[in-house]
A and B are shown apart, each in its own frame.
Chain A
Amino acid sequence: MISLLQRKEKALRQWESLIHNKIPVIYVGSATCGKAAGVMKLIDVIRDTLKLNELKAKIIEVGCIGPCYMEPLMDIKKPGYPRICYAGVTPEKARMIIEGFLIEDDPLLHLAVGHFATNGQNESLGIPHFFDLPMMKSQTRLVLRNCGFIDPENIDHYLANDGYQGLLKAFDVGHDEVIKQVKEAGLRGRGGAGFPTYKKWEICRNTSGKEKFMICNVSEGDPGAFMNRALIEGDPHCVLEGLLIAAYAIGADHGYIYINTDYVLAIQRLKIAVKQMQEYGLLGKNIQNSGFDFEVIIKEGAGAFVCGEETAQIACIEGKRGMPRSRPPFPAISGLFGKPTIINNVETLGTLPNILREGAEWYKHFGVEGNYGTKTFSLVGSIRRGGLIEVQLGIKLKQIVYDIGGGPWKAFKAVQTGGPSGGCLSEEFLDIPVEYESMQNAGSIMGSGGMIVMDEDTCVVDLALYFLDFTQKESCGKCSPCRVGTWQMVNILERIVKGDSEPDDLAQLQILAETCAKASLCGLGQTAPNPVLTTLRYFRSEYLAHVKEKYCKSAVCKELVYYEIIPDKCNGCKLCIDVCPTDAISGIKSEPHTIDLFRCIKCKACYEVCRYNPLAGNAIEFKSSKKMAVA
């Protein structure tokens, strides 16, 4: 058996030859986000171009490096140059860049966004370093450190980047010391609730029982969240190493990775990684002569949102319907098949190799007291620079939204954290630090990392309705407050957005939301009303406008809005006629147009064009009257 050290040396040699390459290396960000942006076609084009020009280059498919808004991303490392990153690479651009750079030695820097020069390398290219880009500057990449740099399907790449050193360290120090280190590092569950990781472990470790289970929770179901998927797609071994460390700490000999079956690429990469680990002697009996036995089973779930809840996930793995059960007993005492079980989030596990390798003290440099470390977020919504980010805890929300994200496209309205279980925070909360407690005090939760930014075009009532509808449909049906309560909330919210509401509705909504939060069985039901509760608290005026005046400020609630052309202002530019999809606007050039309300589908296109196009006269207004809108 070749030892891991020998394998590492070999891997390092390989890695060095890749860095100090003789032939160019083309890195393509081909996680699911990249694939959605058209990377598969791009890779074909790159291959064709290379073949056509008889060029030699190595293509490596890497994970997501973060700035999804720049996708597709292509990096080229050519001998003599640092690695240069090109953004928004269309097939045409790719052909141009490859031919320009590789044949004519012109890096086409006007198309590049940044370089990855390490110290001492040529930095006078005239483009910023990639990590000095505004989106990257405020980030601290610990968990995601390998994403975008290594080939996720090659264990040697991971080994060359300090891979599995944390595990070896764990084997050195022993079970209890691992738990102690994690305790000192102050690691808290990254799944959202922020329960100290070591505490769960300790309970499980101290529970007697020969058989214990370790589960990695990749049931990522929030709308707009993708950080866990991106991590697995970019660096599966990091998660698996974390899984092994955790399992070693609690003394589990079987591990499950519960992953949504629609994460096709992630599952594929996990399976490859598990196979490689078996080859390298990182799974099976007596791993690396530590006396520790471990096997991993990849369990594909059908993707029910509630299966992210611990007990529901356990039921699902047991082959039952994914429904939560009451606690106690907690899974750490009686979980999978009645055995002590620990379920940790992907990110929690992904953090472990770092902590073990570098030590708890090192980890405490990041974050703030009580909230050490970093947290990944998927920054989406109305934001200029959306993508996968990792920040130190304690950072201000404002920094995330404005410094990293570049702010919303239009005037800021709210930010939703934690997906359907989280809350909707208004502008006044932009100054709060991103910490478990502060988020909770504001009525939201840290969540697993979904962060949706909304601008003035979003109606909060509509938003609450959207999330409630989601949780209502995903409710497992076991407990009545969640099953019926969420549905009744959807009912009331639907009445409000349709303008059929009565004055009592808000009070009723509040009571219902509180009942649901207090009396539901599991976390899904208990947090389901959060979007309603927070929007009711911070955007009450908007609710009142909907209920009393039947007016939707954002013109999202179509039944409350009608559009009108102010004849005095209309200059007859016909722009609105061009954009109207239903030919509802008519008129002749240079004369005031009229709008046919029967045809109008309230898509807001005319309003936008009239308001923002300099040729138009800003003549279209939306008004609210229930009666008119219905007519």
Chain B
Amino acid sequence: MSRKNGKITITIDNKSYKVRKNLTILQAAEQNNIYIPTLCAHKELSPHGGCRMCIVEVDGFRNFPTACTTPIEDGMIVRTHTTQVNTIRQEIIQLFMSEHPSSCLICDEKVECAEYLTTIHKAGVTTGCRYCANNGQCELQDVVEYLDVKEINYPIFYRNQRVEKEDPFYDRDYNLCILCGRCIRMCQEVRLANVLAFKFRGRNTIIGPAYDKTHLNSGCEFCGACVSVCPTGTLFEKARKWDGKPEREQISTCSFCGVGCQLRLLIKEDRVIGSLPLDDILVNHGQLCVKGRFCITEIVNGYKRLKAPYKLYRATNVIISWDEAIDIAVEKLQNCAPEKFGMLVSPNCTNEDLYVAQKFARVAMNSNHIDSSARLFYGEGINAYLNLLERAVSLSEARKADVILCIGLDTRYGRSVVGVELRWALKDGAKIITMNPRDHSIALLAEHWIRSRPGTETEILKQLNEIIAGKPNGKPTKYNDQKIWDLKSVAESLKHASKVAILIGSEFMQYSGSADLLLEIEKLAIRLNAGVLPLPAQNNFFGSILMGTYPEFLPGGFSSRNKEKTNDFSKLAGRNRSSFKWDWNIVAINSRDKLEVLYLMGEIPPGSTKNPAEFIISQNIYPSDDQFQADLVFPAAAFTESEGTFINGEGRIQKVNQAVNPPGKALPDWQILCKIAQRMGIAGFEFKSAAEIHAEIAKIIPQFSSFKKPGREARPLAVEGRFLIDKQQKSIPGASNRRDQLFLTTSLVEHSHRSIPLTSWVKGTTKIFSEGVLEISPQDAKKARIEDGDTVEVSSLNDKTEWPVKITPELSQGFLHVTVPQGNYSGPNPQKVRIRKKNV
């Protein structure tokens, strides 16, 4: 009976063990490598005690307690494998099997069938049935095998449930369900989403959303956490349904947004077949969003992935060898004047790729014409956004705040990991305030939902600032459209909080006057001494600034007008240059003289021009023929196929590991650039691996010290440089309360990877992200006699555009919204428009 070190002694199967207190019998047994079969217990979930497989005998207990629910006591004597216990377990597993199609479990032919699977059959015989996608990875199979059950003494009951396939990303076959309740507990206890529940009683008990709603309509975030914990084949990803058991796993970082979740990539036959969350204590705590969970495999395995370089020859694409491709590129580049060269690089690339890219532009091409689409995404507010990034706190820090103010953030699909943290914060007693003109996932959690009229946000925040400062001026309720929020009580909540965090999403980023909006946020943050967590849409936006892939920035985030730093960089690069001109950026592509060579690294040129340059080199993972015509195409490796680092929105440097080989002849971005530079005879591009690039970056940025294990601490961005901004047109505030006016807001595609919208390569996402459609409130639609799917002509001051319509109750009356690919919109945002139904 020793109680030293908080340990107690228990006896399991006649052997005594010293274990920690506060464990269940099952945990104590697992720690000491004693196997107790179980189907419903899961290490991340609370004990359920439903499957009854883990029953044990405990001295002094009346019945057979379940090991998963019974806490251990000092001196407890447990027997896990007595005859009686085993008999009961066998009986119970038979009961399970009487409900579960069981030929995968107890088929007489199982062994022989496997043996003759490869034989040539001349008659139509069935060999090696595959009726369950989970075959070989099924926990029920394991338990049946362990218990050595060979037959079922009961009649078999097939539930005859329809296989539910209508929702995207995963199928549900509740005929296979053993009602262990893991998915429900995951949804309710860990994700706090409460979508799933038990339905009906007795034999008809089944799992699903209440009132037989579809998952789409019941608030499901499609995070796939339920799929991960399902012990049977009931829930299964559509994308890897018949891929079987993965061979190995590789840890990596997700590249779909600035949260930077840690992943476990599942690999089979040199193919990434799935992605699961890593139980990471810093960022995602074992959670993922729909993008990280379901979209990675579909993106990296798409059938149209580029596998070889090709060139445009007489209006057709001709596959060529790497040698030829590089020769063509070198010839064009060598003959190109620095001011006639342009390069666009995607902020989705790794730091190493970005560093090499800017080095390529600045050293090999002697040009400062390098930019990225992030400039368009953040528009005029980009500098203010940088200011906010400097005040960034980590997510786990923000979650501890008393009041969390979310501005333009929606966590239903993208960034749902943040949504989980918000729900936990709410559970721990935090107040949530959200500002968003749309109905969104946080509205449900929020104490105050500032449902602003689009365009009035800056004014609202200004007033909020004034109220908090104690000198309100004007009428604060002027914009109180819905009568559901009151700025004064919002201010009260914020004032009385001891710790405030402000989370910033992408909703208002493309608004005209977003700079003012972000400045107001900054003022608010300073006034409240709040931690800010901007959540960039681009996973490596932080990195792209630090690597200097903008005309205004040098590696290290220094301003390219800083002479000393320019000298340092030039010295390192082996060139003599003391200044960089700021004469070009991405916006200029369409307005200036045509470039001679435009090098696109994971980017597409903005605007609708098909030929923004005389010669276009495109280096990407997918062809983008429908948007523009590239003259030379290099196949790049996706982030699962190369090595490198990303920096997430909190400022953590995170490792990307190579999971599989690139398809065909595709190469990592940096390798292609190095090959060209070497062929051009430029020194300084003799990198053998990403690690070497990383080491060179470390000379400028000391945090980049270790490539193998980057320091993952959250470090707010602190850079010297700032963007040069052309002020756009002033916004026309949607403050008018006249109901007959319509205002159109536009936003850029947020969910994209290397300029490829996820919706174009992941079929399921078309159901959850509405892009390229005009969203309209039901009231307005009714007024204009528009139905879902109709085509509508939207006329603004400048132009007329046609879009298909989607009616959504998320929008309030008087507002329209459309998500467009980058560069495809003009005019102020929001802007007053008229709509007209097109006659078919």
User: Which residues in A have some Cβ–Cβ distance to B below 8 Å?
Assistant: 304, 321, 323, 325-326, 328, 472-481, 483-488, 491, 508, 511-512, 515, 518-521, 526
Known: A325-B49, A326-B49, A512-B91. A477 touches B201 (CB 8 A): yes
- Residue from B50, B178, B202, B204 having most chain A Cβ neighbours under 10 A: B202
How far in angstroms is the closest Cβ of chain B from A542? 24
Contact A326–B200 (Cβ < 8 Å): no
Known: A481-B92, A484-B99. A476 touches B205 (CB 8 A): yes
How far in angstroms is the closest Cβ of chain B from A595? 35
B-side interface residues, number (CB < 8 Å): 36
Contact B201–A304 (Cβ < 8 Å): yes
| Cα of A474 to Cα of B48 in the assembled complex, Å | 19
Known: A472-B203, A473-B201. A521 touches B178 (CB 8 A): no
Chain A CB within 8 A of B313 CB:
no
Contact A477–B198 (Cβ < 8 Å): yes
Chain A CB within 8 A of B64 CB:
yes
Contact A483–B49 (Cβ < 8 Å): no
Given contacts A326-B47, A515-B91, A519-B88, 12 further A-B contacts (CB under 8 A): A472-B203, A474-B201, A475-B201, A477-B203, A478-B198, A480-B50, A480-B52, A480-B95, A483-B202, A485-B95, A518-B63, A526-B63
SS class, residues of chain A in contact with chain B: helix
Contact A326–B154 (Cβ < 8 Å): no
Q: Looking at the complex, which of B65-73, B516-524, B545-553, B719-727 is the stretch in contact with chain A?
A: B65-73
How far in angstroms is the closest Cβ of chain B from A337? 13
Residue of B nearest to A327 (CB): B69
How far in angstroms is the closest Cβ of chain A from B632? 61
Chain A CB within 8 A of B500 CB:
no
Q: List 10 A-B contacts (CB under 8 A).
A: A326-B66, A472-B202, A474-B202, A475-B203, A480-B52, A480-B179, A486-B202, A488-B98, A519-B55, A519-B88
Chain A CB within 8 A of B702 CB:
no
| Cα of A53 to Cα of B693 in the assembled complex, Å | 110
- For residue B556, which residues in chain A have a CB less than 8 angstroms away from its CB? none
Contact B202–A478 (Cβ < 8 Å): no
- For residue A476, which residues in chain B have a CB less than 8 angstroms away from its CB? 198, 201, 205
Contact A480–B96 (Cβ < 8 Å): yes
The 8 closest A-B pairs by CB, nearest first: A477-B205, A326-B69, A326-B49, A484-B95, A515-B91, A475-B202, A473-B202, A487-B203
| Cα of A169 to Cα of B98 in the assembled complex, Å | 58
Known: A326-B47, A328-B71, A484-B95. A519 touches B64 (CB 8 A): yes
Contact with A along B82-111 (1 / 0, CB 8 A): 000000100110011011000000000000
| Cα of A481 to Cα of B154 in the assembled complex, Å | 13
| Cα of A488 to Cα of B201 in the assembled complex, Å | 15
Interface residues of B in 175-204 (CB under 8 A from A): 178-179, 181, 197-198, 200-204
How far in angstroms is the closest Cβ of chain A from B80? 15
Residue of B nearest to A520 (CB): B52
| Cα of A323 to Cα of B71 in the assembled complex, Å | 20
Which of B70, B157, B179, B204 makes the CB contact (< 8 A) with A326?
B70
Contact A483–B91 (Cβ < 8 Å): no
- For residue A488, which residues in chain B have a CB less than 8 angstroms away from its CB? 95, 98, 154-155
Residue of A nearest to B206 (CB): A477
| Cα of A542 to Cα of B71 in the assembled complex, Å | 45
How far in angstroms is the closest Cβ of chain A from B24? 10
Contact A480–B92 (Cβ < 8 Å): yes
Known: A483-B203, A488-B98, A518-B64. A478 touches B181 (CB 8 A): yes
Contact B201–A515 (Cβ < 8 Å): no
Contact B205–A483 (Cβ < 8 Å): yes
How far in angstroms is the closest Cβ of chain B from A73? 38
| Cα of A478 to Cα of B182 in the assembled complex, Å | 11
| Cα of A479 to Cα of B47 in the assembled complex, Å | 13
| Cα of A472 to Cα of B198 in the assembled complex, Å | 16
Contact B88–A515 (Cβ < 8 Å): yes
Contact B203–A321 (Cβ < 8 Å): no
How far in angstroms is the closest Cβ of chain A from B206? 8
Contact B153–A479 (Cβ < 8 Å): no
- For residue B70, which residues in chain A have a CB less than 8 angstroms away from its CB? 326, 328
- For residue A475, which residues in chain B have a CB less than 8 angstroms away from its CB? 201-203, 205
Known: A326-B47, A328-B71. A518 touches B201 (CB 8 A): no
| Cα of A120 to Cα of B200 in the assembled complex, Å | 61
Known: A326-B70, A328-B71, A476-B205. A519 touches B198 (CB 8 A): no
| Cα of A323 to Cα of B157 in the assembled complex, Å | 24
Contact B178–A480 (Cβ < 8 Å): yes
| Cα of A519 to Cα of B90 in the assembled complex, Å | 12
Chain A CB within 8 A of B51 CB:
yes
| Cα of A491 to Cα of B156 in the assembled complex, Å | 11
- Residue from A325, A478, A487 having most chain B Cβ neighbours under 10 A: A478
Which of A325, A479, A508, A511 makes the CB contact (< 8 A) with B52?
A479
Known: A479-B52, A484-B99, A488-B154. A519 touches B203 (CB 8 A): no
- For residue B71, which residues in chain A have a CB less than 8 angstroms away from its CB? 328
Residue of B nearest to A486 (CB): B202
- For residue A487, which residues in chain B have a CB less than 8 angstroms away from its CB? 157, 202-203
